[in-house]
Structure 1
Amino acid sequence: MPVTTRSTDTRRNILDTAQRIMAHKGYSAVGINEVLAEAGVPKGSFYHYFASKDAFGEAILKSYFADYLADMDGILARSGQSAAERLMAYWQQWRETQSVEECQGKCLAVKLGAEVADLSESMRLALKEGTGAIVDRIARTIADGLEDGSLSVDGDPRDVAQALYDMWLGASVMCKIHRSLAPLDTVTAVTRRLLHL
């Protein structure tokens, strides 16, 4: 195996391991040595892959959003469904990923958003870019729904998309606080009303 491939695989392993751990513990509570031990990577090699913990955090978020957006694109590109059906399938997937392990969820935007936005400008910008890309996809799907007649909205599709994403993010945080999926049930009903479904 070429060194570059091995190096890329090791870096990806470190990032994937960090995502899993940080989805449960947050960013600040996780040490680099814990991630490296879990990933089976020698402690001294961290700086071969990342310039700093800040750069590491940014890489985690960029990797997370790349995977998230690929999954989202798969849901929103399903054939044989209206735009409204595809969008509601996305929200259903969101609900399922937030319900794991007593509402601990797997969304790093929910888990790390408030924590790292004040710690690191590069991580805040990675969050901004990633969440902006999610809202762009929601807005495009709403526009597709207006075109295929499967939904309607009062206002600009981009504004509605931003409001929906903000509501779902907030509801996900409330699920964690209450250890209940009730906030996601409420936001699902509100989403249907906003899309006139």
Structure 2
Amino acid sequence: MPVTQGDTRRSILDTAQRIMSRKGFAAVGINEVLSQAGVPKGSFYHYFNSKDAFGEAMMRSYFADYLADMDRILDEPDTTPAQRLMNYWQSWRESQSVDECQGKCLAVKLGAEVSDLSESMRIALKEGTTAIVDRLERVIAAGLEDGSLPVDGDARTTAQALYDLWLGASVMAKIHRDIGALDTAATVTRRLLHV
């Protein structure tokens, strides 16, 4: 089966996500990404207009995949909203505790770095993280409705607070190279959700 332009573009984006989740955005050159993706160096601008456009495309691709995985967890049949939400946090803990707590979340790894470097990447991060909070809010609202999540407060505020908690805990886990902050986030989450 011949490789298509879309396959090559996707390969570049996937390779960049893997490298940048370890090194960051500014520390990675385009040539490193292209070399590891097996794509000729001169073809970068065939797929992206600039490094900024490439970074934005990478963030959008990352969030599309992340949100699809999140939907799979949060839409699991035959479980209560409370169970689905706690399964999501467990999945987060597992993904952020790999590689000596270096994690796999590009929002954690690149959020502060690129928000000051690229407006288009900042907007992609903002839209992606907002979509995450939207999904959390939806599940919390369903849990309030069926009684499985008797939270104090409204669904949106709770969703935003939980996301902020876990994002901060992930940063602290990276700094300390220890999952203690993630375990604390899980404990606080259970208390906040009364589960």
TM-score category of the 2 structures, normalised to the smaller one = over 0.9
Give ranges in structure 2 of 5+ residues lacking alignment: none
* Cα separation, 1, equivalents of 2:194 and 2:177: 29
* Cα separation, 1, equivalents of 2:188 and 2:12: 39
* Cα separation, 2, equivalents of 1:184 and 1:36: 34
Partner of 1:39: 37
Deviations 1:90-144 (A, max 9, x none): 0000000001110000000000000000000000000000000000000000001
What's the offset of the Cα at 1:154? 1.3
Q: Could you tell me which of 85, 90, 93 is aligned with 1:92?
A: 90
Moved more, 33-42 or 153-162: 153-162
TM-score, normalised by the number of residues in structure 1: 0.97
* Cα separation, 2, equivalents of 1:79 and 1:101: 31
* Cα separation, 2, equivalents of 1:171 and 1:164: 10
Deviations 1:53-108 (A, max 9, x none): 00000000000000000000000011111000000000000000001110000000
The one-letter code of the counterpart of 1:72 is M
* Cα separation, 2, equivalents of 1:93 and 1:142: 17
Partner of 2:147: 149
Runs of 4 or more off by more than 6 Å in structure 1?
none
Give 3-state SS (helix, strand or coil) of 2:111's partner.
helix
Note if 1:108 corresponds to 2:106. Answer: yes
What's the offset of the Cα at 1:153? 1.3
Give 3-state SS (helix, strand or coil) of 1:78's partner.
coil
Q: How many pairs are equivalent?
A: 195
* Cα separation, 2, equivalents of 1:23 and 1:152: 36
Partner of 2:73: 75
CA RMSD of aligned residues (A): 0.9
Note if 1:55 corresponds to 2:50. Answer: no
Give 3-state SS (helix, strand or coil) of 1:30's partner.
coil
* Cα separation, 1, equivalents of 2:34 and 2:149: 47
Deviations 1:21-47 (A, max 9, x none): 000000000000000000000000000
TM-score, normalised by the number of residues in structure 2: 0.98
Give 3-state SS (helix, strand or coil) of 1:142's partner.
helix
* Cα separation, 1, equivalents of 2:21 and 2:102: 8
Q: Percent identity?
A: 75
